[in-house]
Amino acid sequence: MPYRLIPHRIRERLGRRGLVLLLFGLTWIVQGSSFFLLPSLYAGHPKFFPLDHLPLWVQGALWIGSGMLSAFAAQRPRREDDTSGFLAVSAMPMLLGASYLIGAISYAWEGNQLWVLGALSFLAWSPVIVALAVVASWYEPPLTGGDE
């Protein structure tokens, strides 16, 4: 039902897969922008996991870059390959998941209770990665009317 809230022309132009790429891409751009707009919010956080050790501007640029690539891939005609868009939009969740998993294993090995935070964070991002892989495998129905 919510799919019908999107204007028909946009749905026809992007398709379901393209719409997912666009929505996640825009979300990643907003997330990345927060690293530049609110650096003091992130600067005071402890660096528990490997990805936390990257400079804030690098983290923000990675979010924005993957979001832009995803959003641009969404704009391609529906009949073209959108693998690059799904790889781009999956990059940050995979980096986060790997960072949290490495941290969880490291902390568990040391006997540090932070392993729980890493494990829970890994479990939070893993479904996003799987969901994007599922959407990437969806069949895109043909256009219902007119040419592209």
pLDDT tens track for 109-121: 999 999 999 999 9
CA distances from 68 to 35, 65, 110 (A): 16, 5, 39
Prediction pTM value:
0.85
pLDDT at 143: 67
The Cα–Cα gap between 131 and 29 comes to: 19
40 found inside a domain: yes
Query: Is 71 exposed, middle or buried, given 0-12, 13-18 or 19+ CB atoms closer than 10 A?
Result: buried
On whether residue 81 sits in a domain, the answer given is yes
Residue 34's domain comprises: 2-88+127-136
Domain for residue 101, yes or no? no
What's the total number of domains in the chain? 1
How do residues 50-69 score in pLDDT, each as one tens digit?
998 899 999 999 999 999 99
Domain contains 103: no
pLDDT over 80 at 14, yes or no: yes
What is the mean predicted confidence (pLDDT) over 71-79?
84
For residue 2 the two structure tokens come to 């919510």
Distance from chain centroid for Cα 28: 6
State how far the Cα of 140 lies from the Cα of 148, in Å rounded to an integer.
14
pLDDT score of 25 more than 70: yes
What's the helix, strand, coil split of the chain in %, to 5? Answer: 75, 0, 25
Task: Please indicate, yes or no, if residue 93 is contained in any of the structural domains.
Answer: no
Q: Which two tokens stand for residue 45?
A: 């956080």
Within a domain: 15: yes
107 in any annotated domain: no
Q: What is the mean pLDDT of residues 96-105?
A: 94
Q: Are 82 and 25 in contact (CB under 8 A)?
A: no
**Residue 74: inside a domain:** yes
Give residue 145's pLDDT.
57
